[in-house]
Structure 1
Amino acid sequence: MRVIGLDSGSTTTKGVLFEAGRLTKKSLLPTAGDPKKAMLAVLAQLDPSLPELAEVSDTAHNEDSPADTFLVTTGYGRKLLPADLVVTEITCHGKGAEYLRTGTQQVIDIGGQDCKTILLNGQGGVAEFSMNDRCAAGTGRFVEVMMRTLGEEIEVLDSFVAGAVPVTINSMCTVFAESEVVSLIAKGEKREDIALGVLYAIAKRINGQYSKLRPPKGAAVFFTGGLSASKAFTTVLADTIGAPVITDPLSQYAGAIGAAQIGIKKSAGHPRFAPSPQV
């Protein structure tokens, strides 16, 4: 039996394929303003038999699906394709974090357009959470905009801020922060110092959101989302929240992995996967 977890994010779309309980394929593509198209493209890489089905059907994914594949969707575009199961991203990130690091109790996920702080029960279940999806402050999009204002791409973030000394950034509104960055450049501040200051400003904003959950002081936090690939920001975040911050090479796939883990459990009792009666 195969299970696909598909996480439709605002910036990137991620998918994973589990076969016999083992992760065998993964795919990540830019969402590029068309979540349905991106989801279909990821599915095409994971299982070429599924996209054609999704394109011709606007109804729930059921008996028409390939008999050996169970599809679970999550994220912003989770309802755009027919699926066996649709699950919220908070639940999936909890299960994904538990899969990647057993016993995880705290998760910070920084996506392109939102930031989630989650407390878990130690078994992947969500005990409490906070989500900021109304403001770009504290998201990957904020970093991307500030880096472009500085004339650099977000992909070079770590090398760009290496050895820098942070400049204080006071504004967290994207528009005002961009103006503040331009003013700092005009005053002669080093671009790399400004960039590091931006990271500290974001981490401070996230810490405020995270602290509202009253997390255990000093307990390790599992970091997911696109920014978790940045060693510089991981260090800044740990320094700001005063706790170890742990990542994994698959951290950006946490939502998709969690969706697949839920799918593995749910599909076990699904009629489509019941053993054929003996004749």
Structure 2
Amino acid sequence: MYTLGIDIGSTTSKAVILKDGTEIAASSIVVATVGTDGVSQALDNVMKESGLTQADMACTVATGYGRQTYDGADYQVSELTCHALGVHFVCPGARTVIDIGGQDAKVLSLNEEGRMVNFVMNDKCAAGTGRFLDVMANILKLDISQLETEAAKAVKPASISSTCTVFAESEVISQLASGTDIPDLVAGICQSVATRVASLAKRVGVREEVCMSGGVAQNGGVRNAMAKELGVEIYYDKRAQELGALGAAIYAYGKSSQS
């Protein structure tokens, strides 16, 4: 049995095909905002990789910021539920999930079965999100993928005190003009994200194991800063950005198995 999970985020579209609820048959990540053909591209990619068609899918579940924009799904499910399922699949021991996406940040508390029992989220401000990192990378003339390596070179991480993206942008430009080294600025930016999201985590209550999901999880600078801020080891899976789509495919499998 094959099931399909589609995660339509604010900046990327992800698709995962799951075989018999246990094996990832294909996956795809396409950088594209909601309202573009990103979903179609992601679907084309997984179908080509797997050699399957939409007709082979026993069930399709859409999740994410733009899930209601896709009418080809059998179910539309909250990204909170899907990230919980996806993280439990790759890290069964996870009890706290930190999901930093393009436009929001969420912290989930899971029970032993991997079910979400509590959560808190920030979707009102770009600070502490992927969008914040994109803005800062643009100011520093860096690709987002360079932030981790630059942060690792830092000697004296800069202090970014502003919690608002607009004010933090001015603060970084000012420090850049005054001669602060770019690695120190990048480390300060990563620390700023970690501090912001760690405050959410502390509201939920941090229980180990702690796992990060979402695109920002790929940034080692943020992961390391988060680990120091919370005083725990942060688990990270290479499929972190796909975990919402994976969880959607798992949810689809559960629905198909019941019928």
Query: Do Structure 1 and Structure 2 share a fold, with TM-score over 0.5?
Result: yes
- Is 1:242 the counterpart of 2:236? The answer is no
1:1-279, aligned counterparts within 5 Å? 1-21=1-21, 22-35=23-36, 37-47=37-47, 66=55, 68-82=57-71, 83-164=73-154, 165-216=156-207, 219-270=208-259
3-state SS, counterpart of residue 204 of structure 2: coil
Unaligned segments of structure 1, at least 5 residues = 54-64, 271-279
Greater helix proportion: 2
Would you say the 8 A contact 2:8–2:34 is kept in 1?
A: no
Provide, for residues 3-56 of structure 1, a one-character-per-residue CA deviation record: whole Å limited to 9, x for no partner.
Answer: 001000001111100123321100000123525x211221122237xxxx9xxx
Q: Give deviations 1:101-151, integer Å, cap 9, x for gaps.
A: 112110000001100100001212110001111100100110111111112
CA distance in 2, matches of 1:12, 1:28: 7
Quote the Cα distance in structure 2 between the aligned partners of 1:186 and 1:41: 41
The runs of at least 4 aligned residues of structure 1 exceeding 3 Å deviation read none
The runs of 5 or more residues in structure 2 that have no matched partner are none
SS at match of 1:79: helix
Q: Aligned equivalents of 1:150 and 1:169: distance in 2?
A: 14
Q: Secondary structure at the match of 2:183?
A: helix
- The structure with the largest alpha-carbon Rg is 1
Q: CA RMSD in A?
A: 1.6
What secondary structure, in the 3-state scheme, does the structure 2 residue paired with 1:253 have?
helix
Query: Whole-Å Cα distance in 2 between the matches of residues 5 and 186 of structure 1?
Result: 46
Q: Distance in 1 between matches of 2:142 and 2:107?
A: 28
The offset of 1:68, in angstroms, is: 4.3
Task: Specify the SS of the correspondent of 1:158.
Answer: helix
Q: Is residue 104–residue 123 contact of structure 2 (8 Å, CA) maintained in 1?
A: yes
Letter in structure 2 aligned against 1:5:
G
Shift of residue 215, structure 1, vs aligned partner: 2.5
Deviates more, 1:89-98 or 1:183-192: 183-192
The letter for the 2-side match of 1:40 is S
- Give the letter for the 2:146 counterpart: V
- Per the alignment, residue 60 of structure 1 pairs with none
In 2, Cα distance between equivalents of 1:249 and 1:238: 17
Q: How high is the TM-score relative to the length of structure 1?
A: 0.86
| TM-score, with structure 2 as normaliser | 0.92
